[in-house]
Structure 1
Amino acid sequence: MSLFSLIAVFLIEQFKPLDYRRIVAEPLGAWAGFVESRFNAGGRHHGIAGWLVAVALPVVLLGLLYLALHTLNPLLGWVLNVGVLYLTMGFRQFSHHYTEIQLALRLGDLDRARLLLAEWQDRSTQGMSAREVARLSIEGALGASHRHVFAVLLWFILLPGPCGALLYRLALIVRDRWTADSPAEHNEFPAFARRVFGIIDWLPLRTTAAAFAVVGDFEDAVHCWRTQPAMWPDRDLGIVLASGAGALGVQLGGSVVDEGEVSDRADLGLGDPADVDFMQSAVGLVWRATVLWMLLLFLLGLASLAG
C-alpha cells in the first residue's frame, strides 16, 4: 500500500501542484504559534507540554482516524494516506524554483537567477556570481529533497498509516517556529522541540545520505559524509549535503556573498566547482535515489505478500 500511495501522490503532484506555503506551511505555522502563545512561559517543562499538544496530539488523532477508516474500508484508509502524503511531501516544494533558476542560468540571465534564488531561500543574493547561485541552488535542492521527500517517506513507512508523515512535518515546523520566536538563551521553551526533532531526524538523515552514496560516487560520498559534516553550521543537514556533494563529485559550501558581505563556510564535497551543468546532475541524483526508494518499497511489498 505504501508504494501505491507514493505513486499516486507523484501523479497527483504532476497534474495539481500544491501551494505548500499557503496550504501547509502557513496553517501549521499558525497552529504552532497558537500553542506557543498558550504554553510558552520560558521553562523546559512548558516546552514539553506544548510539544505534546502541538505535535503528539494531532498525530494520535490522525492515527485513530486512520484506524477507523481502515476498519470501515481499507480503501478509505488508503485515500487518507494519499491525502496526508500529498500535503506533507513532494518534489514541487523545491523543483519549480530550482528548474527556473537552472533555465535562467543557461540563458545567461544572472539577474533573474539571483531574484529566483532570493525568493526561494528568502536571502539576499545581490552580487552573487553564477557559480554561487548554482552552488546554493544545489545545496537547497539536496536539503529540500531530504526534508520534503525522503525523510517524510521513511517515517511514513515506519509508523502506521499517515502518522509518520504528519509527525515529521509537524515536528519540523514546530521546531523552526519556536526556535525563531524564542531565540533568547534563557528561554528553554524550544529546547525540547529541538531535541526531539534531532531524534526524529537522526535515521532519515543517514538513510538519505546512504541513498545518495549508493546511486552516486559511493567512495567519495562516504568519505565526505565521514569527514565534513562536523564543520558545517547545521551539522545534521551537513550529513546530507556532504554525501550528496561527494556522490556528485562537486564542491559545495565555501564562501558566499550574504547580506552584501562575504560569509565563509566550510567546504563540502570533492571535485569541480558547482555550475549549471552540475545542477542537472543533482536532479539526476535525486531521481535515482527516489527510484531506489521505490524499488525497496516494492521488494518490501513482495516480502510482505510472500510472508
Structure 2
Amino acid sequence: MAFFSVLAAVILEHLRPLRQPLPHYQHYSRFTQWLERRFNAGEYSHGAIALALAVLPWLIAVWLVFVLLSGISPVLGWAWNVAVLYLTLGFKYYSDDAERIARLLRAGELDAARGQLLAWRGGDTSQFSADELARVTIEQVMAASYRQMFGVLFWFVLLLPLGPVGAVLFRATSILARRWETSRGRFGQCAQRVFHIINWVPARLTALTYAIAGNFEDATYCWRTQADTWPEPEDGVVIAAGAGAMGVKLGQNITVGGESVWRPELGTGQAPDADCIDSAVSMIWRGLLIWLVAGLLIVIAGWVS
C-alpha cells in the first residue's frame, strides 16, 4: 500500500500541483501564531506545551479518520492516505518557482527574477546579481526538496500503519521550527530540537540520493568536509551534497542592504547559472525516481517471496 499511495500522491501533485497561497497552510499558520501569542513567555516549557497543542490534535484526527475509513473499506483508507499525502507534499510549486527564475535570468530580466525569489524566500533580494540569484535559488530548491518531499515521504512510509500520521508530523514540526525560530526567549527551541531529531535521517537520505543521482565522489566529499560550516545543520548536509553532486559552488557572499554578507562556501567546481537551476530541479526529480524504483523493487520482492 505504501508504494501505491506514494505513487498516486506524486502523480496527483505533478498533474495538479498545489498553488500558493494554500488555504490549509494559512489556517494552520494563524493557529500557530495564536499559540505563540498565548503561550510565549520566553520559556522552553511553554514552547513544549505549544508544540504539543500544535501537533498532537492533528495527528490524532488524521489517525482516527484513517481508522474509520479503513474500517468501512480499505480503499477509503488508501484514498485518505493519498489525499493527506498530496496536501502535505508541495515541492512542485517550488520547483516551478525555480524554473521560472531560471527563465527570467536567461531572458536578462533580473528585476523580475529578484521579485520572484523575494516572493519565495523573503529577505532583501533587491541587489542580487545574476550569479547570486542562481546560487540562492538552487539552495532554496534543494532545501525545499527534503522539507516538502523527501522528508514527508520518509515519515509517511515509516509510520504507515497509523495512516498519514508521519506526513503530518514531519510537515507540522517543519513549519513550527521555522515559524518559531525567532521567537522571544527559548520558546522556539523545543520545536527546533524536535524537528532536528525527526529530520536527521531524511536529510541524510536526501543527501545520499543526490550523491547517487549526480557525482557520488564529490557529493560525499562536500558532505563530509563542508556541511558542518552551514548555519542550519540539515540544510548544510543537503546543500553541500547537492552542490558536490552537480559540480557547482553555492553559499559564498551575497549582497544585502548594499553590504556583502559572508556565507560558507559549499560545493566544488563552477559558479552556477540559470541552466544549473534547471539541472538542480532535474537532479531532484531523478532522486525521486530512485526512491520510487527502490519502492517498486521492494514491492516486487514481496510478491515473489
Return the TM-score normalized by structure 1. 0.93
Q: CA deviation at 1:281?
A: 1.6
Q: Look up the SS of the partner of 2:180 in the other structure.
A: helix
Q: CA deviation at 1:306?
A: 4.1
2:304 & 2:33 partners in 1: Cα distance? 47
Q: CA deviation at 1:305?
A: 3.4
Cα contact 1:115–1:125 (8 A) shared by 2: yes
1:294 & 1:20 partners in 2: Cα distance? 26
Q: Look up the SS of the partner of 1:188 in the other structure.
A: coil
2:63 & 2:303 partners in 1: Cα distance? 24
Matches within 5 A, 1:122-201: 122-160=122-160, 161-180=163-182, 182=183, 184=184, 187-201=185-199
Does residue 48 (structure 1) correspond to residue 39 (structure 2)? The answer is no
Cα contact 2:45–2:187 (8 A) shared by 1: yes
**Total equivalences in the alignment:** 303
Task: Answer with 297-306 or 196-205: which moved more.
Answer: 297-306
2:124 & 2:39 partners in 1: Cα distance? 34
In structure 1, the residue matched to 2:95 is 95
Q: CA deviation at 1:255?
A: 0.5
Cα contact 1:98–1:141 (8 A) shared by 2: yes
1:30 & 1:139 partners in 2: Cα distance? 27
Cα contact 1:20–1:87 (8 A) shared by 2: no
In structure 2, the residue matched to 1:218 is 216
Q: CA deviation at 1:165?
A: 0.5
1:46 & 1:72 partners in 2: Cα distance? 40
Structure 2 counterpart of 1:74, one-letter code: P
1:21 & 1:196 partners in 2: Cα distance? 27
1:3 & 1:59 partners in 2: Cα distance? 21
Q: Which sections of structure 2, spanning at least 5 residues, go unmatched?
A: none
Structure 2 counterpart of 1:31, one-letter code: F
1:172 & 1:63 partners in 2: Cα distance? 19
Structure 1 counterpart of 2:202, one-letter code: P
2:16 & 2:279 partners in 1: Cα distance? 26
Deviations 1:207-247 (A, max 9, x none): 00000011110000000000101111212210000000000
2:28 & 2:114 partners in 1: Cα distance? 29
Matches within 5 A, 1:1-307: 1-160=1-160, 161-180=163-182, 182=183, 184=184, 187-306=185-304
Cα contact 1:47–1:191 (8 A) shared by 2: yes
Structure 1 counterpart of 2:291, one-letter code: W
Deviations 1:126-156 (A, max 9, x none): 2222111111111111111111111111011
Q: Look up the SS of the partner of 2:260 in the other structure.
A: strand
Return the TM-score normalized by structure 2. 0.94
Q: Which sections of structure 1, spanning at least 5 residues, go unmatched?
A: none
